[in-house]
Amino acid sequence: MGNLIATRPPQPWTAPTASDPVAATLRLPGSKSMTARALVLSALAGGPSTLAGPLRARDTELMAAGLRALGAHMSISDDERWLVRPHPLVGPAHVDVGLAGTVMRFVPPVAGLADGRITLDGDPQARTRPLGPLIGALRSLGVRVDAPATGSLPLTVLGAGRVVGGEVVIDASASSQLVSGLLLAAPRFDRGVVVRHVGPPVPSAPHLRMTVQMLRAAGAAVDDGTPDVWVVEPGPLAGRGWQIEPDLSGAVPFFAAALVTGGEVTLQGWPRSSAQPVEQLRSLLQRMGGEVTLSTGGLTVRGTGAVHGLTADLSDVSELTPALTALAMLADSPSVFTGVGHIRGHETDRLTALAREFTALGADITESPDGLEIRPRPLHGGVFETYHDHRMAHAAAVAGLAVPGVELSDVACTSKTMPEFPALWSAMVTGKS
C-alpha cells in the first residue's frame, strides 16, 4: 500500500453544487499523454517538429524542461503551437520530474543517449513510485544507472552518448509507462529494442497503443503483433507536425456532471479517429446511464436523470477511477471496480485515499487489493483531502455537484494537468463564463 502524504492548506475550495442540469460546450486543453510522447519523439527526431494544441500544465512543462536540460531546443511560449528543434543530447544536467510519471519513466532512456551525467529527482511522493523494472531494463541494455536499492528516485544516468539496445525482459504490471519509455527512445538505440513483458497484465493498454501509433507516425518500424512483446527497429525519427487531441481523461469529470445533473456536456474538437480510449469511456458512461454521441460538433454526453452502478474492470482506463468512483457514490445501485491495484502507486495510493475521503463524507466504500466496492447512500459535506493528486480533486468536485459543503483541501493540484479546472468547473455549474 502506498504512502499517503497530506498537507492541508488553510483555505479549502468549496465545490459548487448544481441547482440545475448543466449545459456546457467546452474546449479542453490537449492530452497530457499525447503531448508528453510528442515532446520526446520531437527531441529525438532528425528535424524540427511542431505541437498544435498542446497541454500546458505542470507535467508537460516539466517534460519540456527536462528535455531542454538535455540539449533539445524548446519554444513553448505560444500556448497554441510549440516548436521543438532537436540538438545533440549532453550532460551534465538535472531533471526535475515533479510528480509526473511520464517524466520519470520517459526521460531516463533518453538520458542514456546523452553524453554526460544526468540526475533525476522530484517531489517527495515521487520517490515512492516504482522505477525498479525500468532501471533494471536500462542496465541490461547497456546504460549505467546509479539508483537506491529501493529502485526509485533519485537516480543518475551516466550517459555514454549511445545505447546498444537489444532484448530486454521487464515486469511492467505496475505501469505501461515502463514499456512506453523504452519504446519511445528505442529507434535511436544501436540495435533498437525487443521488450518482453513477463508478469501480471500490463495496465492502461490504450496508452501503449498510443505509443506505438505515434512512433509509427514519426517513421519508426514497430511490431506489436505478438502479445506482450514490442519490437522497435533502429532508424531515424522524422520531425513533423503533431495535432494534439483534447484530453479525454480530463474531460471525464465534466461528462460525469452531465450524468449527475441530468444535463448535457459537449467536448469540442474531438477527432473521428482517436488515439485515446474513447470507446471504453463511451461504454462505461452508457452503462452508468448516459447517452454518448460523436458529431461534427464534438463528443457529447447527456444525462438521463438516473445514474446506475456497474461492475467493471477498469485496468485499461485506470485514470478514470476517481471520477467514476464519485459517480458511483451517487448511483441507484452498488458498483464494483477491479483491475486497478496499480493506482496505489500513482500520485498517492488512490484506492486508500478514495476509500478514506469518501468514508469521511458518509460513504459505504470498501477497498479490495485491486479495486473498490461502493454501496451508495446519502453523503454529507466536509473537507476532502486531495493528497496533491489532481484526480482526487476531480472526484471531490463531482461529488460536490450533489452534496453541498464538499471542500477540497487543495484545488491547485489540478494544475498538474489542467490549470483552468477550477474556473471551467465553476462556470459549467453556475452557467456563467
416 is in an annotated binding site: yes
CA 349 to chain centroid: 15
356 is in an annotated binding site: no
105 is in an annotated binding site: no
204 is in an annotated binding site: yes
CA 316 to chain centroid: 12
CB atoms within 10 A of CB 179: 27
Active site residue 319: yes
The single residue listed with the C-alpha cell 479517429 is 273
Amino acid (1-letter code) at residue 393: A
**Judging by DSSP bridges, how do beta strands 193-197 and 222-223 pair with one another?**
unpaired
315 is in an annotated binding site: no
Amino acid (1-letter code) at residue 369: P
**Coil, strand or helix at 363:** coil
391 is in an annotated binding site: yes
173 is in an annotated binding site: no
Classify residue 17 by its DSSP letter. Answer: P
32 is in an annotated binding site: yes
Strand stretches in 53-139, DSSP E: 73-75, 81-85, 93-96, 115-121
The CA distance from 408 to 231, in Å, is 44
CA 130 to chain centroid: 15
The enclosing H or E element of 232 equals strand 229-232
Q: Are 95 and 67 a contacting pair, CB within 8 Å? A: no
CB atoms within 10 A of CB 272: 7
275-276-281 Cα angle (round to 5): 145
Catalytic residue, chosen from 61, 245, 264, 319, is: 319
User: Looking at the DSSP assignment, which residues form a beta bridge with residue 110?
Assistant: none
Question: In sequence order, which ranges of 218-349 are alpha helices (DSSP H)?
Answer: 248-261, 278-287, 321-329
Residues tagged in the binding site annotation for phosphoenolpyruvate:
32, 101, 129, 177, 350, 391, 416
Residues tagged in the binding site annotation for 3-phosphoshikimate:
32-33, 37, 175-177, 204, 319, 346
Catalytically active residues are: 319
Residues tagged in the binding site annotation:
32-33, 37, 101, 129, 175-177, 204, 319, 346, 350, 391, 416
